[in-house]
Amino acid sequence: MLEDNNTPKFLWAEAAKTAVYLLNRSPASFINKTPYEAWHGHKPNISHSKVFGCAISAATPNIPSRKKLDTRGTPSLLVGYEGSHQYRAYDPIARRVLRVRDAKFDEGVARKQLDEPIAPAAMSEFIGATPIHEIETP
């Protein structure tokens, strides 16, 4: 998972935790059902599954200094799950893992290697947007 998405190596624990989460919800041939189903007695809901390492825009709580047209999300990477509709997102600017519920996913965006924190201007390249100071006006 780390190699496929060029996810930083220091997120190996998040990748391992996500792999276990997904394996427990995948069919096992020796019991003819998923381990989750054997333990809980019902089939797991996997409709919330997304691509590990995909770009997401995690909703941030209300900040008093934020204006009406300011961005409401933090560009992050999906690194895991916290239940059925909560996700673990790595914020490369703050260099921390967040628990988010409201997020927009872009599973088709291939991200670049993050050896150090990305500057906010370079972060727009990560999510495919154009920084406002680079937009040319006619």
| Domain map (residue ranges) of the chain | 2-108+117-127
Type of residue numbered 101: R
- Six-digit token pair at 25? 């919800």
Burial of 121 by CB count in 10 Å (0-12 exposed, 13-18 middle, 19+ buried)?
A: exposed
- Six-digit token pair at 103? 């997020």
Mean pLDDT of the chain: 75
φ, ψ for residue 89 (rounded to 5)? -125, 135
Please count the CA atoms within 13 angstroms of the CA of 136 that sit on its side-chain side: 1
Sole residue written with tokens 């997904």: 22
Sole residue written with tokens 């088709």: 108
pLDDT the model gives residue 111: 53
Dump pLDDT digits (tens) for 8-49: 888 888 989 988 888 888 888 788 888 888 888 888 888 888
